[in-house]
Amino acid sequence: MARDFLKKLQFSKPEKRAIIVLENSIESSVVASLALSNISEPSFSIYRLIKDFSSSLYKDNRYTFVKDIHISKWSSLFSIGFRRFPEICTETTIVPCAGKYRCLSSKQCLPFEQVCDDVIHCRNGDDERLCNSVCPEKCKCTGDVINCKAANISISDISSLTIQARSLDLSINPQINKIHKHNLNFPYMFRLNISSCSIHYIDGRVFFDLKNLLSLDLSNTRIQQLPDMVFSKLRHLTYLNLDRNKELTMISSTAFKGLKAVRSLKISGTNLKKISSNTFSGLQLDSIDISYNRIEEIEDFAFNDTLVHKINFEGNKVIKFGESMFNGVRSLRELHTPAFKFCCIRPYYVREEDCKPLKNEFSSCEDLMRNCVLQAVLWIVGVASLLGNLSSIIYRLVYDRERLKIGYGIFVTNLAVADFLMVFTSS
């Protein structure tokens, strides 16, 4: 009977042609296997729901024409049908509950007298979830979304917030100056904004309890350094903002370890002085923007083991770097640098026109100037300047010492010495 069931199946409504196969026992798995193995390319949609993942009969994507659905909470199946089976379930769970409380992800409406009465009425228990939480003064709490922007609160006020919080905005609160791990115990949070605070220190394990975080804004604070492995537990993080941290001077080489989902990294407007080796190791990014900081040194292998399409570090006065600076970087397509000399050590697969700034008559990797005439003129001017200034200095010291006693003579002599040293050192 099971083998021929789907072949003989007829639908009362031709516009909605789909079936759902429930596998919540060994017996039902056997029946589903018999029914589905005897049909190919059906004219209707088939969904297979599995409850027992340990069953030896269960094999994911076993049938190419069957869509497997993973249901972790079997008891809540009735309330998510419209999301999982759009072909046959068009009704959503948005049910009007005028003057009542609507339970989360269900069609159940409750009188407000039954909310926070120490008895769970909703299937997900959300009618008792936020009953013991306290919303700090000047904050706005709407369910699991908490907005404490410019509320003049301190870090101690965060301890009264519900552990169920999904979104928390703590921006523009100057009293928040330190953050430790025990201050941010929100395992369900997906968005956190602590920008424009007076934070100058963060614990290396501060984000360890925010494993579901998707967005983190740490811009415009007084953070001085990013410690080892500080973001290592944020494997789902997709957005990270570190802009305008004017007191940030150091980033640990392991600070960004574990950021598997972040696609864009921007750190500009800081006091960063050095980029260490392997700082971006293991990241897979569309772009790295470390422009307009105060970076003076970039170590060899700074971008080692990094998959990135664009690197921008223009606006920095980098005076110390090596030829192995870009060694180990992969998939680089575009490079923005402070000067053309950095393009001379770019990865071999990056085209010259994709490295900025472009070379001109006054810049090339082989010579200071590409045009031979300009090179000759430059040497003539340089030699003439050296000899002229040296002659002026000797004349003043040997033949015209009287003029060194007046302001004019001293000024001209100092000017000649300065010009001589400048030309000498530049040559």
Do 79 and 101 lie in a common domain? no
Q: Are residues 6 and 79 in the same domain?
A: yes
Q: Which residues contact 34 (CB under 8 A, 6 or more apart)?
A: 2, 3
Whether residue 247 is predicted with pLDDT greater than 90 in this model: the reply is: yes
Residue 349's nearest CA partner among 330, 369, 367 is 330
Q: How many residues does the chain have?
A: 427
Burial of 228 (0-12, 13-18, 19+ CB in 10 A): exposed
Q: At residue 393, does pLDDT exceed 60?
A: yes
Query: Pick from 228, 283, 235, 266: which is nearest to 250 by CA?
Result: 228
- On whether both 59 and 10 belong to a single domain, the answer is yes
Q: Is 36 a residue whose pLDDT tops 90?
A: no
What is the model's pLDDT at position 353? Answer: 92
61 pLDDT band, cuts 50/70/90, is low
Whether the pLDDT of residue 339 is over 70: the answer is yes
Domain holding 108, by residue range, is: 97-129
User: For residue 87, what pLDDT is reported?
Assistant: 54
Q: Does any domain span residue 347? A: no
Is residue 37 predicted with pLDDT exceeding 80? no
Q: What is the pLDDT of residues 145-200, one digit of tens each?
A: 899 999 998 888 887 788 888 899 999 999 998 888 888 888 889 999 999 999 99
Q: Within 10 Å of residue 161's Cβ, how many Cβ atoms?
A: 21
Give residue-wise pLDDT tens across range 260-319: 899 999 999 999 999 999 999 999 999 999 999 999 999 999 999 999 999 999 999 999
Last residue of a domain, one of 84, 114, 142: 84
Q: How many domains does the chain have?
A: 3
Asked whether residue 181 is assigned to any structural domain, the reply reads no
Is a pLDDT exceeding 60 seen at residue 329? yes
Banded model confidence at residue 92, pLDDT cuts 50, 70, 90: very low
For residues 44 and 108, state if they share a domain.
no
Q: Could you say which of 50, 84, 118 is where a domain stops?
A: 84
Arithmetic mean of pLDDT, 236-252: 93
> Do 119 and 80 belong together in one domain?
no
Given 14, 49, 84, the domain boundary residue is 84
* Assigned domain for 330 exists: no
Q: How confident is the model at residue 388 (pLDDT cuts 50, 70, 90)?
A: confident
In a domain, 248, yes or no: no
pLDDT of 56 strictly over 70: no
Q: List Cβ neighbours of 202 (8 Å cut-off, separation of 6 or more).
A: 178, 179, 223, 226, 227, 230
Domain shared by 64 and 123, yes or no:
no
Q: Determine the pLDDT at residue 136.
A: 79
Identify whether 60 is part of a domain.
yes
Q: Is the pLDDT of residue 35 over 70?
A: yes
pLDDT of residue 93: 44
pLDDT beyond 60 at 60: no
Residues 61 and 19 grouped into a single domain: yes
Does residue 29 belong to any structural domain of this protein?
Answer: yes
Query: What b/e string do you get for 89-106 counting C-beta neighbours within 10 Å, with b at 16 or more?
Result: eeeebeeeeeebbbbbbb
Comparison of pLDDT for 132 and 277, the residue scoring more: 277
Please give the share of the chain, as a percent, with pLDDT higher than 90: 37
Residue predicted with more confidence, 3 or 198: 198
pTM exceeds 0.75 for this model: no
Strands 145-147 and 140-142: antiparallel
Whether the per-residue pLDDT at 254 is higher than 90: the answer is yes
Sign of the alpha-carbon dihedral angle for 185, 187, 188, 191: positive
How far apart, in whole angstroms, are the C-alpha atoms of residue 4 and residue 273?
A: 73
Q: Is the pLDDT of residue 345 over 80?
A: yes
Average pLDDT over the chain, rounded to an integer: 82
105: CATH: 4.10.400.10
Average pLDDT over residues 233-257: 93
For 269-393, list the strands marked E by DSSP: 274-275, 284-289, 297-298, 306-312, 320-321, 329-330, 334-336, 355-356
Has residue 389 been placed in a domain?
yes
Whether 175 is covered by a domain: the verdict is no
Cα–Cα separations (whole angstroms), residue 6 to 2, 23, 39, 40, 343: 8, 16, 7, 10, 65
pLDDT of res. 383: 81
Residue 73, CB half-sphere, CA atoms under 13 Å: how many? 10
pLDDT of residue 234: 93
Structure confidence by residue, pLDDT tens digits, 155-165: 888 877 888 88
Q: Which of 142-146, 184-188, 337-341 has the highest mean pLDDT?
A: 337-341
